[in-house]
Amino acid sequence: MTQTVFALVIAATVSVTALCSVAHAADPQPYRVEIASVGNGDMDTTLKATSDLQSLRGTAPVSPFGLIARARSDVDRLKTALESYGYYQGGVAIRINGLMVTNPGLGDALTALPASTDARVQISFTLGPLYHVGRVDIDGEVPEAIRNSLGLKSGQPAVAAVVLEGGARMLTALQEQGYAFAAVDPPVAYESADAPVLDLRFHVVMGSKVNIGELRIEGLKRVRESLLRERLLLHTGQPYSSSAIERARRDLLALGVFSQVSLSIGSAVDDSGGVPITFKVRERLRHTFSAGAAFSSDLGGSGTVKWSDRNVFGGAQQFSISASVLNLGGSDTTGVGYDGTATYLMPDFLHRDQTLQFAVSALKQSLQAYDQTARTTSVTLTRKISSIWTVSVGGSTTDEQVIQNAATRFYTLFALPLTVAYDSTNLGSPLEDPRHGIRASVNLTPTLALGHPDAKFLISRVNVATYFDFNRLLPTDPGRTVLALRGLAGIAEGAGELSLPPDQRFYGGGSGTIRGYQYQSVGPRFQPGTPAAGLPIGGTAITAGSLELRQRFGTNWGAAFFVDAGQVSGSLEAVPDQFSIGVGAGMRYYTPIGPIRFDIAVPTKRQDSAQDKFEFYIGLGQSF
């Protein structure tokens, strides 16, 4: 009896000791992951993103046995990923410190590792044959045009995402033709017995054609429903169209007063014989306050605060006040300046997609080229002709004092600007990263300047920027590698160089034209013997262009490499020896509201000993 009790005590002591040892070994097990390439960049990226071993390594520590469980789970996850690319006989092998995850001795091997020693996880793949699509059958009476929308052909790789997208396209085509209650079931796949081929069968139910039924709007608080009713181009009784419904949703969202506009589509026809559509809106906060900052080595730092009322009287009217402090340091400034603006915007003024804006502003800037203090009042009528074309016309009055070459001049300017703009980038904000399409604008500003001397002149300016995504040519994801090109040309007609007010002349240099050169430093200069000897005069014409390669890395980081060139003179004729060229590179950090830009650029030729050897720029959004 005593020996039995003593044996049990010894056994219990050994068990406790073993448990303590296991508990000590069960501390988080560090490990590193090596994922073999399958020879396809897109697949490699997907497999890496699918692996929990990879994605959770730094955020979710695990014990040795937890690591084994995670690896076993990854086998199934990664096999599913291979199947999604058409490799249905693929295999996944995961080894930890050389042992397969199915090895019963792996747990003991991991617990025996010294503390803080990384376990080596190796993931390899056997692809097997790539499966292809065989026959594609559709059950149900479906028009030929809608059948073709499936877009699947015999012989193409049986990639799961492509097959499912085909069914989604067919459903969209049916709904676009008025079949609101159509259904396209996920395809059933039949594997061939003698070849890596999958025959597909889609079951389709069309239902009946229907119209748009009652339109309802839910969630309004301050915004007037009458405004939305007048704005909607969707009406009860018109043929059902999924794209027309989506356009109406985006149209309401574009008013700027809603943070969310969602759709609820009825599951049966209503009393009107159509499908009821409900727009569920969530109004944004009425008042907003924001702040921003920027820096460049030529213009120094700047800071801006802005307060806005997004919905003044319930009709989406917008009132905002912004105040900026400018020229905090910088090689091309001579003092601190300011810029204050108040704007009031009335949407859908007298016509849908027509906006009337009133603005008053006060500006003071002290630059090497000139010192300016100005007060401006303007009114602008903007009409959105289509999703890509916009026209605006307006009038402005400016009273200003400009000091240049030790002479003080007072001007009153009356301008009638006209702008035609084209934008096919399909972006909601100019701060977003453009990846394709074209942005272009033509601006004509006839101006009467009362001052010393009086002058009448027409300023014309053309800007064009285009973007090319290399995913059209290379096996890269959209937006990873983008080539951006920009060109601008401007000319002032009707007045000579010195009869134009200094702030109306063209200047080159800086982030907006030729990076690497100081702001406004490119162009004619005052001759020796004058008070402003060597400082910029400005010109009556400008031509400039930029080429920029933008490359993203990972999720948030990217880089840019660019070349800018241009000239400022008395005409648009190119004079090679007057061209200034700047080259540079920069980093990008991508945020939900746009990329933060860090650029450094150098001039290829220094105009004089005072010319900076390089320029540095920090801002929000791409350079163009």
Q: Is the pLDDT of residue 376 over 90?
A: yes
Q: How confident is the model at residue 11 (pLDDT cuts 50, 70, 90)?
A: very low
**Confidence at residue 15, expressed as pLDDT on a 0 to 100 scale:** 34
Contact predicate 391/379, CB 8 Å: no
569 domain residue, yes or no: yes
pLDDT exceeds 60 at position 181: yes
- Could you tell me if residue 16 is inside a domain? no
Domain boundary among the residues 255, 283, 311 is at 283
Separation between Cα atoms, residue 286 and residue 268, nearest integer Å: 36
Q: Please name every residue paired with 543 in a beta bridge, in sequence order, or none if there are none.
A: 489, 567
Strand 557-569 to strand 541-553: parallel, antiparallel, or no bridges (unpaired)? antiparallel
Is residue 20 very low, low, confident or very high in pLDDT (cuts 50, 70, 90)?
very low
H helix or E strand, kind and range, residue 167: helix 160-176
429 within some domain: yes
CA angle 163, 166, 169 (to 5 degrees): 155
Mean per-residue pLDDT for 424-447?
93
β-pairing verdict for 437-450 and 407-415: antiparallel
pLDDT at residue 1 is higher than 70: no
Q: Contact, 497 vs 540, CB < 8 A?
A: yes
In a domain, 15, yes or no: no
Please report whether residue 453 resides in a domain: yes
Same domain (yes/no): 267, 198: no
> In the structure, what pLDDT confidence band is assigned to residue 64 with cuts at 50, 70 and 90?
very high
* Same domain membership, residue 355 and residue 435: yes
pLDDT band at 14 (very low <50, low <70, confident <90, very high): very low
Residue 329 has pLDDT above 60, yes or no: yes
The count of structural domains within the chain is 4
Task: Compute and round to an integer the Cα radius of gyration of the chain.
Answer: 33
User: Residue 270 in 3-state DSSP?
Assistant: coil
Single out the residue of 603, 601, 593 nearest to residue 618, CA to CA: 601
First to last CA, the chain: 90
Mean pLDDT of 68-96: 95
Task: Give mean pLDDT, residues 62-82.
Answer: 94
Please check whether residues 184 and 257 belong to one and the same domain.
no
Q: Which two tokens stand for residue 481?
A: 């590698």
Model confidence at 393, pLDDT cuts 50, 70, 90, reads very high
Q: Is the pLDDT of residue 2 over 90?
A: no
In percent, how much of the chain has pLDDT > 90?
Answer: 77
Q: Is there a contact between 547 and 565 (Cβ–Cβ < 8 Å)?
A: no
Query: Are 304 and 418 part of one and the same domain?
Result: yes
Residue 205: what pLDDT?
93
What is the helix (H) or strand (E) element at residue 144, kind and residue range? helix 144-148
Q: Indicate the residue among 150, 180, 205 that finishes a domain.
A: 205
Query: Domain range for residue 546?
Result: 287-620
260, 291: one domain: no
**Are 245 and 275 in contact, with CB atoms under 8 Å apart?**
no
Judge if 226 and 108 occupy the same domain: no
Q: Are residues 609 and 519 both part of a single domain? A: yes
Residues 401 and 321 in one domain: yes
Helix 160-176 and helix 242-253, axial crossing angle in degrees, nearest 10: 90
What CATH number has the domain bearing residue 256?
Answer: 3.10.20.310
Q: Is 2 inside any structural domain?
A: no
> 48 pLDDT exceeds 50?
yes
Q: Go through 490-510 and write b for each residue having 16 or more CB atoms within 10 A of its CB, e for each that does not.
A: bbbeebebebbbbbbbbbbbb
pLDDT digits (tens, 9 = 90+) for 197-251: 999 999 999 989 999 999 999 999 999 999 999 999 999 999 999 999 999 999 9
pLDDT of residue 12: 32
Question: Residue 558's pLDDT band (boundaries 50, 70, 90)?
Answer: very high
One domain for residues 394 and 534: yes
The whole-number pLDDT of residue 372 equals 97
Which pLDDT value is given to residue 3? 37
Tokens 């295999």 found at: 91
Q: Label residue 497 by pLDDT band (50, 70, 90).
A: confident
State residue 375's pLDDT score: 98
Q: What SS3 class is residue 50?
A: helix
Asked if residue 517 and residue 409 are part of one domain, the reply reads: yes
Cis peptide before 28 (omega within 30 of 0): no
DSSP string, 200-269: EEEEEE-----EEEEEEEE--SSS-HHHHHHH----TTSBP-HHHHHHHHHHHHTTSSEEEEEEEE-SS-
pTM beyond 0.85 = no
- Judged by DSSP in three states, 556 sits in coil
| One domain for residues 97 and 142 | no
pLDDT tens sequence across 505-529: 999 999 999 999 999 999 999 988 8
Among 105, 126, 147, where does a domain finish? 126
Nearest CA-CA partner of 558 in 598, 593, 530, 521:
598
Using CA atoms, how far apart are residues 440 and 421, in angstroms rounded to an integer? 6
pLDDT(26) > 50: no
DSSP-derived letter for residue 369 is S
**Residue 214 within any structural domain of the chain:** no
Residue 466, pLDDT score: 98
- Amino acid present at 84: S
Read off the pLDDT of residues 130-156 as tens digits, 9 standing for 90 and up.
Answer: 999 999 999 888 888 898 999 999 999
Per-residue pLDDT at 357: 98
- My answer on whether 476 and 547 are in the same domain is yes
Across the beta sheet with 258-265, what order do the strands follow? 211-218, 274-283, 258-265
Confidence at 608, pLDDT banded by 50, 70, 90? confident
Assign 69 a pLDDT band (cuts: 50, 70, 90). very high
Residue 504 belongs to domain with CATH number: 2.40.160.50
Residue carrying structure tokens 């801006």: 304
| From 16-25, 59-68, 91-100, the region with the lowest mean pLDDT | 16-25
pLDDT of residue 265: 94
pLDDT at 342: 98
The answer to whether residue 576 scores a pLDDT higher than 90 is no
Confidence of residue 18 (pLDDT cuts 50, 70, 90): very low
Mean pLDDT, rounded, of the chain? 91
* 3-7, 276-280, 419-423, 612-616: segment of lowest average pLDDT: 3-7
- Give the pLDDT confidence score for residue 594 in this predicted structure: 87
Over residues 356-364, the mean pLDDT reads 98
Specify if 6 maps to a domain.
no
For residue 602, the SS3 value is: strand
